[in-house]
């Protein structure tokens, strides 16, 4: 039987494929904050996890409290904001309030892209796949319009917007080996941003080495049209 995580200053309860978990892991790593990571199987959620997670989802961040049980934070955006506000290290949000609000908006935009990505990777037939592909291409075209010279969303400074988009781009490291989705065609700034994020140590460390195999297995289980194209 799975047991609850042992006490630690910060414990990130995770799933191997979850992009929202990756956001939190990237933010913690950028801040050089020591943390433990505990992966769970979302198809067989342990009782201790269900007792802690109001939504039954990852990530959770367990924050040790003196003389009592750890505080539990849920939702990746909340966790990232908490890390930004409480952990010393480089700022991951702009100092200017207006620019900070703008970044939060683009983080939310990234979450809508993940919804379309779910449609792309789980589509078993061409019409649904094409619908998701066109939605994604349109949204990345909007991103292209707001990007500058890079290498990151805010130029030279890595931010939480980058932490949101890095897990999105990671999907395509596998997808590109299966089919030409043409989602990034004609978007040179988006493509350069993707390359810069893929080289970032915090981004690379946000998943385990078997991530591509796990993602491929996920596609197999969903009879993904992506795999049928590869055939």
**Among the listed residues 230, 152, 227, the one whose alpha carbon sits nearest the alpha carbon of residue 193:** 152
CA distances from 214 to 14, 16, 207, 226 (A): 14, 8, 11, 15
d(CA 54, CA 49): 9
Q: How many other C-beta atoms are found inside a 10 Å radius of the C-beta of residue 225?
A: 24
Q: Is 18 annotated in the active site?
A: yes
Which 3 state secondary structure label does DSSP give 132? helix
Q: Which of 10, 12, 13, 18 is the catalytic position? A: 18
Q: Tell me phi and psi for residue 63, to 5 degrees.
A: -110, 115
Q: What are phi and psi of 205, to 5 degrees?
A: -85, -5
The residues that are catalytic are 18
């Amino acid at each position: 039987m799975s047991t609850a995580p042992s006490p630690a200053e910060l414990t990130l309860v995770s799933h191997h494929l979850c992009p929202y978990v990756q956001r939190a892991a990237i933010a913690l790593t950028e801040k050089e904050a020591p943390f433990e990571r505990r992966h769970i199987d979302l198809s067989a959620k342990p009782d201790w996890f269900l007792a802690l997670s109001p939504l039954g989802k990852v990530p959770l961040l367990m924050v040790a409290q003196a003389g009592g049980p750890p505080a539990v934070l849920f939702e990746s955006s909340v966790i990232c904001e908490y890390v930004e506000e409480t952990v010393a290290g480089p700022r991951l949000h702009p100092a200017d309030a207006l620019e900070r609000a703008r970044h939060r908006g683009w983080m939310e935009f990234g979450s809508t892209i993940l919804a379309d990505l779910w449609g792309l990777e789980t589509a078993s037939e061409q019409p649904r796949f094409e619908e998701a592909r066109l939605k994604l291409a349109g949204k990345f075209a909007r991103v292209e319009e707001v990007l500058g010279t890079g290498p990151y969303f805010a130029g030279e400074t890595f931010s939480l917007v980058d932490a949101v988009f890095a897990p999105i781009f990671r999907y395509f490291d596998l997808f590109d080996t299966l089919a030409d989705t043409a989602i990034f065609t004609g978007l040179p700034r988006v493509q350069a941003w993707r390359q810069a994020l893929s080289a970032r140590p915090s981004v690379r460390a946000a998943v385990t080495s078997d991530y591509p195999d796990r993602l491929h297995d996920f596609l197999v289980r969903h009879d993904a049209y992506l795999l049928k194209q590869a055939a």
